Amino acid sequence: MTSKITRQAYASEDSLLRIFTAPEDSTSTLSIIEQKLSQDLAGFLGNSIAALEKPLSEIETDFNAYQIPTDPKFVSDYADEIMQNLVAHSVHTAAPSFIGHMTSALPYFVLPLSKIMVGLNQNLVKIETSKAFTPLERQVLGMMHHLVYQQSNDFYDQWMHSANHSLGAFCSGGTVANITALWIARNRLLQPSGEFKGITREGMTKALRFYGYDDLAILVSDRGHYSLGKTADLLGIGRDNIISIPTDEHHKVDVAAMRATAAKLAQQNIKVMAIVGVAGTTETGNVDPLTELAALACELNCHFHVDAAWGGASLLSNKYRHLLKGIELADSVTIDAHKQMYVPMGAGMVLFKDPELAKAIVHHAEYILRVGSKDLGSQTLEGSRPGMAMLVHACLQIIGRDGYEILINNSLEKARYFATIIEQHKDFELVTAPELCLLTYRYVPSSVQAILTTAISNQDTELVATINELLDGLTQFIQKHQREQGKSFVSRTRIKPAKYLRQQTTVFRVVLANPLTSHQILHDVLTEQVEIAVLDREYLPQLLAL
Amino acid sequence: MTSKITRQAYASEDSLLRIFTAPEDSTSTLSIIEQKLSQDLAGFLGNSIAALEKPLSEIETDFNAYQIPTDPKFVSDYADEIMQNLVAHSVHTAAPSFIGHMTSALPYFVLPLSKIMVGLNQNLVKIETSKAFTPLERQVLGMMHHLVYQQSNDFYDQWMHSANHSLGAFCSGGTVANITALWIARNRLLQPSGEFKGITREGMTKALRFYGYDDLAILVSDRGHYSLGKTADLLGIGRDNIISIPTDEHHKVDVAAMRATAAKLAQQNIKVMAIVGVAGTTETGNVDPLTELAALACELNCHFHVDAAWGGASLLSNKYRHLLKGIELADSVTIDAHKQMYVPMGAGMVLFKDPELAKAIVHHAEYILRVGSKDLGSQTLEGSRPGMAMLVHACLQIIGRDGYEILINNSLEKARYFATIIEQHKDFELVTAPELCLLTYRYVPSSVQAILTTAISNQDTELVATINELLDGLTQFIQKHQREQGKSFVSRTRIKPAKYLRQQTTVFRVVLANPLTSHQILHDVLTEQVEIAVLDREYLPQLLAL
């Protein structure tokens, strides 16, 4: 009865206002859940997330209502519901054995700090709704800029807080960062000149006509991230004008091939608008020869962007920073703090070598972003944005260079360790060795390895194809079952490794960013995969019968 | 000494790992801050944010370091620091007297829920890192779709969870939502046909050539949001091809003028790609005649998008829903949950009438977003994204339709109340009356009002300009001082009201979304403005001497 009365009362104004004024009682369901999470995040996630995977179709039945409910619901009832329907069937991305994607464990302090961030509810688009968050975000961009470009004291004094300049743009993620960089590249290439008001004002067709180009192109390795295709689509360049350049046996772009392609494009009057170097490919984790790419961009007089969304964090290691050599020559660099920098989801950044760069996309309005204001929104793709920069700021300060040095080095060295035990195991093949902390491999029974090696050295493409097809099926089988068992997770992808005659090959993909992933876990992942492999009744028997 | 030892120890691996494994002690500085915030958010914000405004240039001195610090920092030291440097100088956007922007107070329950969201750290781009969050997000989009389009049970059964369809896209904000809608509109207009592979693949220039258009245009009222200009730039259409259509005396777009413009464009072989209707203009809060715009879009055979980023929440009121009549005819609609739906920053949405619409921007990759998967990322502009949809879900369930009915109605009625007291006050002029819960006004001493009225009726544009210029200065003076005093905040913008002979006029802008804003506060805002006005030594004396 009490419940009923409260429910009725709830729909009155006064009781409704209580959700804005009266905090959750410390003995309430939601408060108790929050306390558990605060006291032991790993325990909370481990206990709350169901170990066994529930099929998506079943989960969907809990999310079938399409009408916004009429009656308000008690916070405690809602909390109970989502613990059962949502949290239990979310993904334990922080688990040390979840080594398939770039999402890692988070440091504890980001939880209370996130809550402060949400409570403050600043909107970074303009100073009037963000005040000190504006210089904080500029400082974070300045620190990341310095990490990449290492300019002088004077440089940062002059530009970090300058109203009409930007050392970078904070974004929701790497995709928006890449779009921003190439948007700038396009607008600078097709800038105003004489009568022509620039692509910004007049659009692509008039811009190409004015500059006398038949088309634009962007050159990137065939391992470039899919966001680049999206960017070309969005910017009116067209996906076909993202020219895929082949990679060498180490999955690094073939610069000679890129140069030759550029020459061919020039003959067709197609202007190369930008070269994109990848510093940590999504699928194999390799870094393009950035110094050579910078030189080529110079030759072609085009923008040089580096997509280091994932790999950029490796710059925080003095020991391994050299792996990204040449990144400081890029006109713009994408880095996601929510990947290897241990910041929660939603913290992408693009950095600009030249603080004038963002002028190519500057915009104003009457009520905010007035000319000369320091409102961050005048030079970003997004409008209203939360104060996520605060969490990056916190990680940079609390972990510090010394802390990141340890974290990054450990990740890279753990990947090397995993590569070693894969190579030592008779039934596994390392497909791509870790350059940073990402590697790919597959399960290949040793008897099959022998046949495959012979087939490859005989250039018997047909037999290699037959074996690869069966192995692809087996890899998929193992990956799916391992995920469903819920103990550990590796992802899978398809690549064309030189060592398998460039045939399409399905592989396990592992990212070793979580500081809590132990050597034992890596051994266990392999053991589990062997155990799952023998359960396969479709591909394994055929492979063993070869 | 202890501190020194711990600091050294900290740089070791084991102690570093503690930030990932050991929660903040409940007696730690950060825990205490968090407790204060949890127990009394308004009190926390009121006590922690400095009342008096510190100049930005001074705040910047705390954010001048550009090198990532070498040494790790204690969490407690960091917490102390940001309370002083950041929180103290942030903006109290939740204050009931902060009525200048669209950021409001938040319900308490979003704080612990945000923490759960961050702790789970899901990535919504793909099911492998979000699982149940995927159907949850689809349900939120379904509920918002139903709010706008009110389709049948069968419709939602069929499409809400369909792998290759989308009822909308969740975005970081309204800008990305608007971009997504117009990107789709562009790609559908210039879709593949015969030999032509579509603008997606071939880019803008070839697309226009294939379809035989000289250019594209987007029609929108001169009160359209600045994100539309950004969109036109980004999409390669060009800002000059966003054709600004004049508004009537109620700041609604003049549909006859739009039709005439479309006819002229057709003669120039410029294809109208989309009409954008505004449902709640950013500066005056008015709603375009959506039904008429839909009819015109039909005549022109073009996409009809409604930007209801701010106003869309009014659909949650059965009493006032009629103010947005015609929105259900739009092909796509933008709504921001972080505006009037009381969700924290970062929750934009675009809804699609036709679940096939998003196919125009679909994309795949090898490691995720595979064809046929339900990964949300295959149809969004952004890639990796946090699980913000959870907070919208929570608000929809916990507040419910009945709760929103009260909140929205109160906001609209409070705006009408404020308009009344402005009109009754001898020294204020209401410039634009509230259609939803946004209004503009200015301080005009009664003696000046009389002179101005006469000048207007005499069509004495020169005198009106002289008076307006002085009033603009005075309005700016009052707005800045009021903000700096820190008791209350109204924003300001510049519009060209018909009643002032369409002259550029600076006005106070007020948004009444905060449920805690009382009538008394509104009276106090005016009283404070009168008190500030008399302090002005530049404009007021000249005005009174007229």
pLDDT in tens, B378-390: 999 999 999 999 9
Backbone φ and ψ for A284, nearest 5 degrees, come out as -130, -10
* B316: nearest CA partner in chain A: A68
Residue B10 scores a pLDDT above 70:
no
Residue B5 scores a pLDDT above 80:
no
Report the gap between the CA of B545 and the closest CA in chain A (Å): 30
B207's tokens = 């697309």
B214-252 per-position pLDDT tens digit: 999 999 999 999 999 999 999 999 999 999 999 999 999
Residue B326 CA to residue A251 CA, distance in Å, equals 54
Contact yes or no for A515 and B31 at CB 8 A: no
pLDDT, residue A2, reads: 38
Residue A107 CB-density burial (10 A; 0-12 exposed, 13-18 middle, 19+ buried): buried
- The domains of chain B, with CATH numbers, are 2-90 (no CATH), 122-385 (3.40.640.10), 409-544 (3.90.1150.10)
Which residue type sits at B215? D
Chain A residues close to B364, C-beta within 8 Å: 226
Do B219 and B272 form a contact (C-beta atoms < 8 A)?
yes
Residue A65 scores a pLDDT above 80:
yes
Do A350 and A332 form a contact (C-beta atoms < 8 A)?
yes
- For the ranges A11-20, A53-62, B240-249, B420-429, which has the lowest average pLDDT? A11-20
Contact yes or no for A64 and B235 at CB 8 A: no
The two beta strands, B438-443 and B505-511, are antiparallel
Report the gap between the CA of B298 and the closest CA in chain A (Å): 25
Residues A481-502, mean pLDDT to the nearest whole number:
94
The strand order across the sheet containing A303-307 reads: A168-171, A348-352, A332-336, A303-307, A270-278, A215-221, A242-245
Which residue type sits at B297? A
Which residue type sits at A334? T
Backbone φ and ψ for A463, nearest 5 degrees, come out as -65, -40
Residue B244 CA to residue B251 CA, distance in Å, equals 13
Report the gap between the CA of B536 and the closest CA in chain A (Å): 22
pLDDT, residue B104, reads: 85
Do A511 and A525 form a contact (C-beta atoms < 8 A)?
no
Residue A55 CA to residue A499 CA, distance in Å, equals 37
Contact yes or no for B205 and A208 at CB 8 A: yes
Q: Where are the beta strands (DSSP E) in A294-412?
A: 303-307, 332-336, 348-352
Contact yes or no for B236 and A241 at CB 8 A: no
CA B52 to chain centre: 27
- Which of A240, A226, A140 shows the shortest CA–CA distance to B384? A226
Contact yes or no for A56 and B127 at CB 8 A: yes
B386-425 per-position pLDDT tens digit: 999 999 999 999 999 999 999 999 999 999 999 999 999 9
Residues B139-157, mean pLDDT to the nearest whole number:
98
Helix (H, G, I), strand (E, B) or coil at B158: helix
Residue B111 CA to residue A19 CA, distance in Å, equals 11
Residue A278 scores a pLDDT above 50:
yes
Residue A343 CA to residue A114 CA, distance in Å, equals 10
* Three-point CA angle B71, B73, B78, nearest 5°: 145
A462-475 per-position pLDDT tens digit: 999 999 999 999 99
Instruction: Find where tokens 């059964």 sit.
Output: B157
Q: Greatest CA span in chain A, whole angstroms?
A: 82
Question: How far, CA to CA in Å, does B367 sit from each of A174, A506, B378?
Answer: 17, 10, 12
Contact yes or no for A201 and B400 at CB 8 A: no
B450: Cβ contacts below 8 Å, ≥ 6 apart: none
The two beta strands, A270-278 and A242-245, are unpaired
* B156: nearest CA partner in chain A: A66
Enter the DSSP assignment of A500: G
Report the gap between the CA of B120 and the closest CA in chain A (Å): 7
Residue of A12, A19, A157 to mutate, testing the B interface (most B Cβ within 10 Å of its Cβ): A19
Report the gap between the CA of B419 and the closest CA in chain A (Å): 20
Q: In the predicted model, what is the mean pLDDT of chain B?
A: 95
Instruction: Find where tokens 């396969």 sit.
Output: A536
Question: How far, CA to CA in Å, does A300 sit from each of A64, A260, A274, B141, B360?
Answer: 54, 12, 9, 45, 33
- How many C-alpha atoms does A121 have within 13 Å on its Cβ side? 28
* A73: nearest CA partner in chain B: B398
Chain A residues close to B235, C-beta within 8 Å: 234-236
The 10 Å Cβ neighbour count of residue B21 is 15
- Which of A390, A388, A266, A277 shows the shortest CA–CA distance to A330? A277
- For the ranges A279-283, A404-408, B7-11, which has the lowest average pLDDT? B7-11
The 10 Å Cβ neighbour count of residue B321 is 15
CB pairs under 8 A between A and B: 550
